[in-house]
Chain A
Amino acid sequence: MTQKKAKYTPWTIPQSDWTPVLTGVEIDEETRQELTEAVRDFDKSDLDERLRAYDTKVSNETMSKSVK
């Protein structure tokens, strides 16, 4: 949840309206290791389930369907 309410789309937003991200934060080697470990252990089963909707096959029944 970004604090600012969107006014533009991702394809129309001008640079002047961009929100700075994590300004002043440095990612040192120790942080990097922590992040790597946390991400490595991430349970992606929910993500895989969600992405299944984007993997449909066109059936023979569809190919034979007539459109009038």
Chain B
Amino acid sequence: MVQPERLQFFTFGKDDPLTSISNSNESTQADYLLCYLDDLGASTVIEEPNYFDRDYLAEFAAFYSVSSRGYANICRRLHFFSNEINRTQLRSAAGGSDRQNKILQDSYLGFIIIRPIPAAPLGRTVLTWYPEQEENKHTPRMRNPSRDYKVHVAGIELTVNGLAWQQQDTGVGACATVSLWSMLHSSAFDDHHAIPTTADITRDAHSKHSFGSRVFPSQGLNFYQICDAIKEQKLAPLITEGDIKSEKSGKVLGFSRERFLSTCAAYIRSGYPILLSGNLMATGSSGHAICVVGFRSCVPSTTDPNSPSLAESGIEYIYIHDDNLGPNVRFKVDTVSLEKEVAVLSADAPEPVNKSRTLACPTKNYPEFIPTQIIVAAHNDIRTDPDKLHRAGLRNATYISKILNLIADKNSQPRFGLTVSTRFIKLATYLGDELSDRLGDNPKVLSSVRLALCEKVDPMSLHIGVVRIGLDDSTPLVDIIYDTTDSDRNHPIFCYVAYSDKIPDVMDIIESIHSIGLGPYKTSVKAY
């Protein structure tokens, strides 16, 4: 029988349970987590010795309970704090001290569930992100899929913002399963459904396309099964195939950098984590899956006036949950020449904050990863994808650029380079935070735009597709607002929001030439 036990307090990095796992198991993941927490400034670890974890209980019921090894059904949970916390302080917080509760919350870094599975002890893990540096305030880390997790220790409520990660156990879930599991934790689905466990996901994946294989232990998933697991959650699977193919074999080699980054940025900005399928170089891997959870936004690069660019093609870093390493691993995006240039990702954690750290971060020797497919779980009412928005955006931007630069030439003014950026967004969020952030300096214009979008535009869908076309110094020129609920063949536009007084004339000209095939733009909303 499980016995009650006292909470345990440890100094981080000395005798705490995570360090013990690292020392005894030679666990790459435990090493990564120690390095990550060290950089976050972890100081104290509080262990709850008895913790019933929903995910592990599902794994236990599905697999471990009938093993002759006699696995326990209870876990441990470790909480990490950047302050030194002792039992007296915790006792005071548990007694209702606002001051001590604030100290705990302000220094809370997140938690790790330790499962009683020696080969894969690291269960559900949510750790906060590295704090933003002042120098990056205009190009923030985009981590829209992250959400708040509330935890309770002796009645003390603590909150951490992140996205859950766990080590694959291969009994119940392989890398595709745990990547799907992280995806389905996204904040985008907060009002949609209960989060499934890894056991649920593996069962769902086998519901229609089992191909005679057993469910547990999990041998990995194919794409049919991944799509089924997503559809069982009443969500829509969206797959994007790499655009670079081998001339010889016709096989997909990977993605062009521009398409890969623009697609990732559009999804992450929309709140959708991405399951990347691809190959680890130098391992002969037959296929690995990882989950993209964020990216470092970038300023657009200087653009040729004759050829608009995608604003996100210069992204340098994306953040990934990799079950071989851990959560929020920074990967550098580069290209590698196979038969042609394709995007390649290299684990590239920042230099340690603590220069005296002796533990080497396992990202140093991790093989490069070449993504070949992107899989996303989106809301069912989204019936289009970023490719369609990017095509529409580049087409529109090319004609807008052409017209603006003809006018500029005629008036002896400098020419303009244009960029395109896209995202899906809830209509309420666009009308709320997004327009407020862009137009908040001018309340009169903000008010007139919001009212025009409500009163003069055809009723819009819950999620809209926004194609933002602007100058290469990021000045917005126009948002073209697409209906996401119709077929791609129709790809209807609700309206456009013009941020410059030249845009309505430009859009009129484009719309009037039927052979171009753009528009109808329906309603023009003036935001100037």
A residues with CB within 8 A of B: 1-19, 21-22, 25, 27, 31-32, 34-36, 38-40, 42, 44, 46-47, 50-51, 53-59, 61-68
Cα–Cα distance between A21 and B471 once the two chains are bound (Å): 9
Residues of A within 8 A of B471 (CB): 2, 19, 21
B289:A47 contact, CB within 8 angstroms: no
B221:A21 contact, CB within 8 angstroms: no
- CB within 8 Å for A3 and B414 given contacts A22-B408, A64-B223, A66-B222: yes
Q: Which of B224, B258, B299, B423 contacts A7 (CB 8 A)?
A: B299
- CB within 8 Å for A10 and B223 given contacts A19-B471, A39-B403: no
Residues of B within 8 A of A9 (CB): 138-139, 297-300, 311, 421, 474
A68:B175 contact, CB within 8 angstroms: yes
| Closest chain A CB from B304 CB (angstroms) | 8
List the one stretch of B69-77, B149-157, B349-357, B504-512 in contact with chain A. Answer: B504-512
A53:B256 contact, CB within 8 angstroms: yes
B297:A66 contact, CB within 8 angstroms: no
Nearest residue (CB) in A for B390 is A54
Chain A interface helix/strand/loop/mixed = loop
Nearest residue (CB) in A for B176 is A67
Residues of A within 8 A of B505 (CB): 27, 32
- Given A39-B509, A64-B222, 11 additional A-B pairs, CB 8 A: A7-B299, A8-B138, A10-B421, A21-B404, A22-B407, A22-B413, A54-B388, A55-B387, A56-B387, A58-B239, A63-B224
| Closest chain A CB from B341 CB (angstroms) | 12
| Closest chain B CB from A35 CB (angstroms) | 5
Count of chain A to chain B residue pairs whose CB atoms are closer than 8 Å in the complex? 210
Residue of B289, B305, B472 most packed against chain A (CB within 10 A)? B472
Residues of A within 8 A of B116 (CB): none
A21:B475 contact, CB within 8 angstroms: yes
A67:B399 contact, CB within 8 angstroms: no
A35:B509 contact, CB within 8 angstroms: yes
A14:B441 contact, CB within 8 angstroms: yes
Q: Which of B305, B307, B411, B442 contacts A22 (CB 8 A)?
A: B411
| Closest chain A CB from B524 CB (angstroms) | 15
Subset of 28 A-B contacts with CB under 8 Å: A1-B303, A1-B416, A4-B473, A10-B311, A10-B474, A11-B423, A11-B434, A12-B297, A12-B437, A15-B442, A18-B499, A25-B407, A25-B502, A27-B407, A31-B407, A31-B410, A39-B509, A53-B256, A54-B390, A55-B391, A57-B241, A59-B241, A61-B251, A62-B239, A62-B373, A63-B224, A66-B221, A67-B277
A2:B395 contact, CB within 8 angstroms: no
B303:A65 contact, CB within 8 angstroms: no
Cα–Cα distance between A9 and B399 once the two chains are bound (Å): 22
Residues of B within 8 A of A7 (CB): 138, 299, 473-474
A15:B441 contact, CB within 8 angstroms: yes
| Closest chain A CB from B468 CB (angstroms) | 5
Cα–Cα distance between A27 and B503 once the two chains are bound (Å): 11
Q: Does B66 sit at the interface, judged by CB under 8 A?
A: no
B241:A39 contact, CB within 8 angstroms: no
| Closest chain B CB from A10 CB (angstroms) | 5
| Closest chain B CB from A9 CB (angstroms) | 5
0/1 interface trace, chain B 399-424, chain A, CB 8 Å (1 if under): 10011101110110111110101010
